[in-house]
Structure 1
Amino acid sequence: MKRILLATCAMLGLAAATPAFAAGPTDADLMNDAASTGDVLTYGMGPQAQRYSPLKTLNTENVAKLVPAFSFSFGGEKQRGQESQPIVHDGTIYVTGSYSRIWAVDSRTGEEKWQYDARLPDGIMPCCDVINRGAAIYGDKVYFGTLDAKLIALNKETGKVIWSKKMADYEAGYSFTAAPMIVDGKIITGNSGGEFGIVGKVEARDANTGELIWSRPTIEGHIGQLNGKDSTMTGKLNASWQGDMWKQGGGATWLGGTYDPETKLIYMGTGNPAPWNSHLRPGDNLYTSSTLAIDPATGEIKWHFQTTPHDGWDFDGVNEFIPFDLKKDGKVVKAGAKADRNGFFFVLDRTNGKFLSATPFVSKITWAKGFDKKGRPIYDPANRPGNPMEAAQGDTKGKSVFSAPSFLGGKNWMPMAYSQDTGLFYVPANEWGMDIWNEAINYKKGAAYLGAGFTIKPLYEDHIGVLRAIDPATGEIKWEYKNKAPLWGGVLTTAGNLVFTGTPEGYLKAFDARTGQEVWKFNTGSGIVGSPITWEQDGEQFVAVVSGWGGAVPLWGGEVAKSIQHINQGGSLWVFKLPKA
């Protein structure tokens, strides 16, 4: 059939292009995703993940008229946290759901085209709910990861499996929940499982075959791989880890990364060191709680910046690093920004990792008093949880401290957005603290490897979540919106002067990007912990978001979880547009 169509094109003098039904996004299409408006091809709406759309058909003047176009139910009884961001291509929405499921949905009618459910073993060990954050698309394939640490490529038209690759041993605590990323024909992945003493990795596979090209461990002392052979050691053995603690050092890359076509670098965040009990692992514990800049061709680390050296609070460092051009003092700097779980908003030179600034974006930070000119935290020693080895006789716990933010972070996984119009970052923040203490712990394969206990508490009676607009040049908060429950969903901003985000109470809300005024809301029936997107189709602008309450807050939230336990779970894709005149 393909040959007949090509021959017909030749006879008619038409370009011998691949038929539309067989074509798929190319490398160039993915790199242009932030500028193209008729699709959403990448997690973050562009490789840099600014989550900004140049569309302005929908704006502050008419957004109040926004209504549902359709809702697609994920069905069944697997209604757990739905943290996905949809992908849109050629009239099809690809969306993942809890328990490692994925659907292809007609973007005009909401009808299902196909569904694929991964067959999960009984022994999976997800730390923070059975979530999945999204898929990737390239050529004729869509890709997504599973809770038993597999990477699967499906035919985008049929949903049939093309290949499936085991990434790691799920029985040791590994899993995979992030959206994969495509760079130069390679599919880039991280891993999850930091609470089980795994070793974080960033890996690249051939997007066509799934074969491993390179692997880069994120913990010092481990050896990388390149083209089937051992390559270089990550860092230097025992440079920042004592004894054998590096062997189960954590540093999971569980959120995935961003890519900058200008610097040609992958930016990947790394998670907490293991165990949480920091007294067992003196030193900075590289490269945990860091941002790594990685060469996509070889997997070599080009620079790193550690946001919480010797992390003792599970502050992690996986938060997305978003490239942008910083305009300050009459100069333009190729910069990147990161709102870290530790409560500080970081701006770095993205070409070399040079520290530019760190400013608080939450109201209370107890673990550090700030950062010095070299980018090192100025610790408050009294706020580190105590060493259980120094506890009174008969007591198995170290001294408990009250620390803010809590380990769920000033900002957790939920991605922020950057507006090219306002020059502001829109950060979904949370105001909470925790009582935290250390305990003795030994590593055991497949068992939790914490060595700590905790209780999370809200800081204020009237709100926990706060959406904040931050000027990266000064760290100044331009406006904020306070929400009763925690904010746990991603953010979208548009040239229509709009900012969208969801709430656990079920609302998708729109705000004026310059003033913070709420200009629209719609209740989806369950809490929103997904990331909204927008695209243009048939001359109209659409907005979509996944609804379904869950994630880490109900599981780990302590007193906070008790206060919001009434929120119903769910699982559905909502799509909105303006009604035709």
Structure 2
Amino acid sequence: MKSRLKRGLGGLALGSLTMTCAIALSAPAIAADGPTSQDILNDAQSTGDVLSYGMGPWAQRFSPMTQLNSDNVKGLVPVFASSLGGEKQRGQESQPIVYDGTIYVTGSYSRVFAFDSRTGEKKWEYDARLPDGIMPCCDVVNRGAAIHGDKIIFATLDAHLIALNRHTGKVIWNKTIADYQAGYSATAAPMIVKDMVIYGNSGGEFGIVGRAEARDVNTGELIWSRPTVEGNMGTLHGQDNGITGKLNATWPGDMWKTGGGATWLGGTYDPGTNLIYMGTGNPGPWNSNMRPGDNLYTASTLAIDPDTGTIKWHYQTTPHDGWDFDGVNEFIPFDATINGKPMKLGAKADRNGYFFVLDRTNGKFVSANKFVMQTTWANGYNPKTGRPNFIDDNRPGAPNGAEKGKSVFASPSFLGGKNWMPMAYSQATGLFYIPSNDWGMDIWNEPITYKKGAAYLGAEFTIKPIAPDHIGALRAMDPTTGKIVWEYKNKAPLWGGVLTTAGNLVFTGTPEGYLKAFDARTGQELWKFQTGSGVVGSPITWEQDGEQYVAVMSGWGGAVPLWGGEVAKTFKEISQGGSLWVFKLPKH
């Protein structure tokens, strides 16, 4: 496994990461003006900007705008394309932020760009000074920034959190959040709650410990830290604030010290319950035979009090994970009526292939339904306990001395029924739109011991397609019934986010280079545009000068070309890139 990890990382050219900060092209007077925490809470209702990752604290990625709709979307044309330039054209998984005539995007290798939203002209660029030896498992991506007041805030591959002046790109504060030499990194977009920056960490393949943390947005000073693995101590204002869970309740020996549970996708926030919902990743190592027990709170959704950092409830989607199914996928609040009862709910399409609906006020299990072709590791969920019905024969076997354990075929593959790419929820249709993948893997366990900064897997795998005509599938699911209403199949894996609008539209990108629009009710493809490289970013829409705009990042990369094995070879001809594309309807 170490050799495979090195091969995957070898393509990142990590030995040549010497970067410099670019001088701003324009430097207006620095002002403390800009979006407030209340403005960010209202992001889902305000159409003239995009102030948060997910287009609102619930991250439904739904716009109430209807100017662009299923009748006229076929006329959508490019306004401009702005290149990120240089030779750093790897996976561009960012979601843009739009405010006051400027589009802010993050790029591969921990870069930030500010572009004029009308012309596409670059205003400034910031390149983080990354050291040699960073250890991103799954490409040098960054998924977006946060905005607050005069600041643009983003995380870096060497586990820093940096606040830049949004007018100039100059550094306001720069904080180390973890030790990159131990395998920590950060790629998720931070979240703003109550004048705090809420963020997580990456590095679950290196025996790190996941954390959710909050810092003062103006100073960067740490307010609270909450580890996600039982036995580790939390803090509040620099003081101990209780360990997470109960020591050795679900972990043997000292394995909680290297237990994984990375919070590498960030979270959502519900002001109604005053809870942050944060997903946690795989336990360490992958070899589940070494760590009997549920291994809380890995592969889970945690509900965290933003004022204290304490965990109010949890739900574990894959107890005792043995397939790297993680649980980081976004938990999206929504309201619906089930069996005649109005409920405050949340939904999550998990790596393990099941779509979960929970009561977001207390974490109680409502339903779990399969959203992929097959799930060989479990046969549904017990409706009373909310636990999976494991298929025991499909868990990888324990190694015998130096010999590898029994190999099994598992589906989904470890890259997931849905990986990082965010789904969307339409308030107009009541449907969730899930970018999913149908694939499987042969997986087996091997002996492993922890070593700081080294891969901590104890497993090997080979990913395989399971359908002759597709891997990717955009699926519309009714959360009240668990039924798939429609699906669009794509030959290559889907690896980008989804946007939906009240104009009866659903947007997503494909590795083949297209941004596509679909009818939200029927799934009919209505429009597509070739961007020149694979689209693995998350599209947005906003109103400017009386017109509706759509934007998306283009640039092929991410985990698939690094980890996809035979599947990745099928799509090796896809060109890399790094561009921001902006579209609108032409004026008549």
TM over 0.5: yes
User: How far apart, in 2, do the equivalents of 1:262 and 1:524 lie?
Assistant: 40
Larger radius of gyration: 1
Check whether the contact 2:113–2:124 (CA below 8 A) recurs between aligned residues: yes
Amino acid at match of 1:147: L
* Alignment of 1:423 onto 2:430: yes
User: How far apart, in 2, do the equivalents of 1:312 and 1:492 lie?
Assistant: 32
Partner of 2:260: 250
* Alignment of 1:351 onto 2:361: yes
Partner of 2:339: 329
Amino acid at match of 2:397: G
Structure 1's consecutive aligned runs of 4 or more residues displaced over 3 angstroms after TM superposition are: 19-22
Check whether the contact 2:30–2:167 (CA below 8 A) recurs between aligned residues: no
Partner of 1:32: 42
How far off its partner does 1:326 sit?
A: 1.8
Partner of 2:455: 448
* Alignment of 1:314 onto 2:330: no
Partner of 1:575: 582
Partner of 1:381: 392
State the percentage of identical aligned residues: 77
How far off its partner does 1:328 sit?
A: 1.7
Per-residue deviation, residues 288-339 of structure 1 (Å, max 9, x unmatched): 0000000000000000000000000000000000000022222210000000
Assess, with a 3 A threshold, how the Cα gap between structure 1 residues 489 and 150 changes in structure 2: closer, same or farther.
same
Amino acid at match of 1:466: A
User: How far apart, in 2, do the equivalents of 1:139 and 1:75 lie?
Assistant: 28
Deviating more after overlay: 19-28 vs 135-144: 19-28
Per-residue deviation, residues 481-532 of structure 1 (Å, max 9, x unmatched): 0000000000000000000000000000000000000000000000000000
User: How far apart, in 1, do the equivalents of 2:248 and 2:71 lie?
Assistant: 59
Correspondence list, 1:458-497, <5 A: 458-497=465-504
User: How far apart, in 2, do the equivalents of 1:176 and 1:308 lie?
Assistant: 23
Partner of 1:558: 565
Partner of 1:281: 291
* Alignment of 1:503 onto 2:510: yes
How far off its partner does 1:22 sit?
A: 4.8
Equivalent position SS for 1:388: coil
The structure 2 residue matched to 1:134, chosen from 125, 144, 159, is 144
Partner of 2:529: 522
Partner of 1:433: 440
User: How far apart, in 1, do the equivalents of 2:491 and 2:229 lie?
Assistant: 38
* Alignment of 1:295 onto 2:302: no
Correspondence list, 1:78-477, <5 A: 78-373=88-383, 374-389=385-400, 396-477=403-484
User: How far apart, in 1, do the equivalents of 2:204 and 2:448 lie?
Assistant: 15
User: How far apart, in 1, do the equivalents of 2:188 and 2:428 lie?
Assistant: 29
Check whether the contact 2:295–2:320 (CA below 8 A) recurs between aligned residues: yes
Equivalent position SS for 2:74: helix
Amino acid at match of 1:236: K
How far off its partner does 1:472 sit?
A: 0.1
Check whether the contact 2:31–2:150 (CA below 8 A) recurs between aligned residues: no
Equivalent position SS for 2:355: strand
Per-residue deviation, residues 94-149 of structure 1 (Å, max 9, x unmatched): 00000000001000010011100000001100000000000000011010000000
Equivalent position SS for 2:569: helix
Partner of 1:546: 553
Amino acid at match of 1:445: K
Equivalent position SS for 2:534: coil
Equivalent position SS for 1:28: helix
Aligned residues: 559
Assess, with a 3 A threshold, how the Cα gap between structure 1 residues 424 and 20 changes in structure 2: closer, same or farther.
farther
Equivalent position SS for 1:102: strand
Equivalent position SS for 1:298: coil
User: How far apart, in 1, do the equivalents of 2:381 and 2:166 lie?
Assistant: 47
Amino acid at match of 1:523: Q
Unaligned runs of 5+ in 1: 1-18
User: How far apart, in 2, do the equivalents of 1:40 and 1:116 lie?
Assistant: 21
* Alignment of 1:512 onto 2:519: yes
Correspondence list, 1:56-67, <5 A: 56-67=66-77
Per-residue deviation, residues 233-283 of structure 1 (Å, max 9, x unmatched): 100000000111111000000000000011110000000000000000000
Amino acid at match of 1:382: D
- Taking structure 2 as the reference length, the TM-score comes to 0.94
User: How far apart, in 1, do the equivalents of 2:32 and 2:524 lie?
Assistant: 45
- Taking structure 1 as the reference length, the TM-score comes to 0.96
User: How far apart, in 2, do the equivalents of 1:199 and 1:42 lie?
Assistant: 26
Partner of 2:57: 47
Equivalent position SS for 2:550: strand
How far off its partner does 1:20 sit?
A: 11
How far off its partner does 1:461 sit?
A: 1.9
Equivalent position SS for 2:231: coil
